[in-house]
Amino acid sequence: MHLSLRVATVGTLAILPLAVAVGWLLARVEFRGKVVLDALVHLPLVVPPVVTGYALLLLFGRRGVFGGALAEVGIVFSFRWTGAALAAAIMGFPLMVRAIRLSIEAIDARLEQAASTLGARPLFVFATVTLPLAWPGILAGAVLCFAKALGEFGATITFVSSIPGETRTIPAAIYGYVQTPGADDGAWRLSLVAVGISIAALAFSEWLSRRMREART
């Protein structure tokens, strides 16, 4: 369980800055190819997770497009817990971006424009106006990403396999128990733990969303 929590936490925190940037871009900027970017962001939700895992293996495996160069400087993802965190982050990324985008879109753009007319630079406006107002949505998105990362299986097992103590997260362990005769008790225990954590995360996300709606009415 500790490994799964570490993988989900690291994956969520690592992908959070990119999710904020992409969410703001989709919410506030009109540009050619926006539909394509939006489709790419949500692609992990609609393609089989095994496809995502295979793509990660081709890109970040030791003989992958980027994996070889990264391995030379000591950064290894394939068959490591860091790879599990990467796979979890990719799978949870669309949920985080969507929550952040909706949160930013709900902000009155006139507040940002007012700050700009007073001479504030765009980055300062984002840091002092947009980010604080969107914070509940950002946090809700992070919670959803964490819950998704905690239950990720297909992409993870394809990319990093199921190595005890290294990449065997809760879903992989449950799968292992199911395949082992007489190990149903272990599968039940881990399933209950996974369901409990996921329900708590979803409830917290819903509470944040409700608070955000109440604060704006």
pLDDT, tens digit, 9 for 90 and up, residues 148-206? 888 888 888 888 888 888 888 888 888 787 877 777 777 888 888 888 887 887 787 77
Q: Give tens-digit pLDDT for 60-98.
A: 988 888 888 888 888 888 888 999 999 999 999 999 999
Structure tokens at 167: 């990449």
Residue type, 42: H
Tell me phi and psi for residue 128, to 5 degrees.
-105, -20
Q: Amino acid letter at 86? A: L
> Range of 47's domain?
2-215
197-204: long-range contacts at Cβ-Cβ below 8 A with a sequence spacing of 24 or more? Answer: 197/147, 197/150, 198/147, 198/150, 198/151, 201/143, 201/144, 201/146, 201/147, 201/150, 202/143, 202/144, 202/147, 204/143
Cα 56 from Cα 47, distance rounded (Å): 13
pLDDT value for 217 = 58
Query: Does the structure show a pLDDT above 70 at 104?
Result: yes
**Per-residue pLDDT for 214 more than 70?**
no
Predicted confidence at residue 23, as pLDDT, reads 94
Q: How many domains does the chain have?
A: 1
Which domain CATH number covers 100?
1.10.3720.10
Two tokens, residue 33: 């190819």
Q: At what angle do helices 184-215 and 170-178 cross, to 10 degrees?
A: 150
On the question of pLDDT at 216 being above 70, the answer is: no
Q: Return the structure tokens found at 78.
A: 């394939």
Question: Within a 10 A sphere around the Cβ of 17, how many other Cβ atoms?
Answer: 9
DSSP assigned state of 121: -
Residues 6+ positions from 169 with CB-CB distance below 8 Å: 3, 4, 7, 84, 150, 152, 153, 156
* Dihedral angle of Cα 10, 80, 23, 95, to the nearest 10 degrees: -90
Question: What pLDDT, on the 0 to 100 scale, is given for residue 11?
Answer: 93
DSSP 154-209: HHHHHHH---TTTT--HHHHHHHHHTSTT-HHHHHHHHHHHHHHHHHHHHHHHHHH
Structural element, H or E, at residue 82: helix 81-105
Higher-confidence residue of 14 and 112: namely 14
